[in-house]
Amino acid sequence: MNGTESGTGGGAVADPVGADRLVGVVGAGTMGVGVAQCLAEAGHRVVVVDPSEEARSKGPRRLNDGLRTARLLRTRTKGAAPASPAASAPAPGKGPAADVAARISWVPHLSGLDGASFVIECGPERIPVKEAVFKELDAVCPADAVFASCTSAIPVAQLAAYTQRPDRVIGTHFMNPAYLKDAVEVIRGPRTASSTLDATLALLATMGKRGHVVRDAPGFVSNRILMPVVNDAAALLQAGTSDAGTVDKIFEECFGHAMGPLRTADLIGLDTVLDSLHVLLETTGDPRFEPCDLLVDLVRRGECGRKSGQGFYSYTSHGAHGAHGAYESHGSYESYGSRR
């Protein structure tokens, strides 16, 4: 076990690791499809739920793109130490893509998860949407199923309160792209049971991922630090202090970061960054989380980063270019995949 205190007791949790167990993913956006890919590559049967027909129709193509990219990048880094996947899990990227795709089903309704032992929610970072999803999951899923949220900032305790099983609710903050990241920020709520934490870490291990456990708080560790940095970097851009490329080069070449804050924001998705800042502002009341005008305007124009082809940088098949200079310029729910 990593990180924090030993947990509360709670009832036994169904083993989610066996290949005969069904794992649900809510949301067919970038993150949901990436998480589904990781699960299916590890041999799990997966059901992805999204009320948007468009998101579901794009899901298999996104999956194939992810499999192709993962294989290419893993081949380039062949020989690197593995992330200690469970012995029973197939090596990531080794099975035929058709076999991986065959393990994933795409459905429009949460009722399709009535047999799931573990559900990973990857919907929009908006509290009303997550409230509706968790309440319905609580009604349709088995009583011993675990609910994990890939929330970027919403406290786990708040999500758990929407269910009758707060001991079986946990945060699993995957980073994008999920299939290339070996670590996951795991958020233990105040009522999360030890058995829930153990089952979550075991499931992550089958995917070759390490779980770093932190206590519950708005934004946890990652985004409590990262979101204000991104917001401040965008504000400097807005003020004309620097262009995007120079901001990122200072972080990359002076501090040694692999990627600067604005490139990172484009990878995350500027809509997700904006939603996370709104959540942090609402849950903490701290004015430093008030989004700057440039970030708001980019999202309003649909310039959400890599996934839209334009954010702080422009993206083509030849890579990122044309960094911004000064500020010149999901059914009954919103689509679960709409932000990611």
Which of the residues are catalytic? 173
What whole-number distance in Å separates Cα of residue 295 and Cα of residue 273? Answer: 9
For residue 82, give the DSSP letter.
Answer: P
What whole-number distance in Å separates Cα of residue 282 and Cα of residue 74? Answer: 40
Residue 321 DSSP SS3? strand
What whole-number distance in Å separates Cα of residue 37 and Cα of residue 163? Answer: 27
Q: Is the Cα torsion angle 116, 120, 122, 128 positive or negative in sign?
A: positive
Q: Cβ(7)–Cβ(192) under 8 Å?
A: yes
* Farthest CA pair distance, the chain: 57
What whole-number distance in Å separates Cα of residue 305 and Cα of residue 265? Answer: 7
> ∠119-123-126 over CA atoms, to 5°?
130
Residue 311 to residues 32, 270, 295, 321, Cα–Cα distance (Å) = 21, 7, 9, 10
What whole-number distance in Å separates Cα of residue 158 and Cα of residue 166? Answer: 9
Spatial CA neighbour of 29 closest among 21, 37, 18, 19? 37
